Structure 1
Amino acid sequence: MNRPKTRLNCPCGEAMKGTDEDDLVQKVREHLKENHPGHDYSRDEILFMAY
């Protein structure tokens, strides 16, 4: 079984950490909305970039 991906580093330098994959996806979407309007990614795209 694969380990859940709970961390993602945005190219702007922001490091995000979630308690699980759902939490991480929510935090990344909030970060994008606040800091990078117009940059929307699917759950799969976010988790592809996460580790």
Structure 2
Amino acid sequence: MKRNITCPCGEHITGENEDDLVTKTQEHLKENHPGHDYSRDEILFMAY
């Protein structure tokens, strides 16, 4: 199960599970990178 991702801006995001990671990543993108929306599959592809 993938629970970590590093945004190109340097922010490290960790979730309790894949669903939590996707939610936290989408919130980070909305707040810090408007217009950069990624799907669940795209986020999990980049996650580790």
**TM-score range normalised by the length of the shorter chain:** over 0.9
Moved over 6 A (4+): none
Equivalenced residue count is 48
Compare CA radii of gyration and give the structure with the larger one: 1
- After superposition, the CA RMSD in angstroms is 0.2
- Cα deviation code 1:14-38 (max 9, x no counterpart): 0000000000000000000000000
Q: Tell me, in whole angstroms, the C-alpha distance in 1 between the residues paired with 2:5 and 2:43.
A: 8
| Residues 1-51 of structure 1 aligned to structure 2 (within 5 Å) | 4-51=1-48
Instruction: Normalising by structure 2, report the TM-score.
Output: 0.99
